[in-house]
Amino acid sequence: MKPEPLKICILENGLTPADLIDEFGSYPAMIERWISPFLPGAAFTYISPVRGEALPNLEAFDGYILSGSRYSTYEKAPWMLSLIDFLQALKEKRIAVFGICFGHQIMADAYGGQTTKAKNGWGVGAQVYEYVNGASPKAAASFIFHQDQVTTLPPGASCIGGSSHCTNGVLAYDFPAISVQFHPEFTTAYIQALATKFRGTLLPEEISNKALDSIESLEVDNSQIAHWAASFFRKHAYSIPVS
């Protein structure tokens, strides 16, 4: 019997700035464009906790991807608390979940760790991430845009990668969950647009200028992380065999 397509739900925790969405799309759309070439035939559904949409039945999907957000997990907004409950239930059911930026942070909070505002300030632009020996990803540059970090690891989590700016940058759990602080779904054009848009307002001039310089000097290839994440979902999916 032919296996059913892999069903992935992307949870939207943040919104693309209004003046950039026509050009770049929503965060779920960016995530689908990034990973879908590595999950041929997969069906993607978008649900938006940040907009107040109800979270789905846990077992309606083979796996979940959590987007980034401009919000901080320690704000403890009602939708965040509901998402934490949902993540704890996914752990109990051993349903695969992959977190990006805010998603990485709220997973850590849900599973017993802690996210705080980084003492070393904003990380923006491109930065090299290193990985522990034996981890599937290899050292490579990735796009970053954050001022919060996971500062206390949850029980059952291992740090398998990080950067000079963010030590706990990539986490793997002893249940089907992995997460990254960086943005594998971002393109060069989008991170440049963010660094330019927020220069002198949200971002200090110096931070924005350094970010733009880093994007010019470091080549980012997001395909390695897409392959890693896709392999993770294939391994833990209900509906298709491991290839």
Residue 238, pLDDT score: 55
Task: Indicate yes or no: pTM above 0.85.
Answer: yes
CA distance 122 to 120: 7
CATH number of 7-118+148-188+221-236: 3.40.50.880
Q: What is the pLDDT of residues 64-107, one digit of tens each?
A: 999 999 999 999 999 999 999 999 999 999 999 999 999 999 99
Strand order in the sheet with 157-162: 43-47, 7-11, 63-66, 96-100, 177-180, 170-173, 157-162, 123-131, 140-146
Q: What is the pLDDT of residues 206-219, one digit of tens each?
A: 999 999 999 999 99
Q: Where are the domains of the chain?
A: 7-118+148-188+221-236
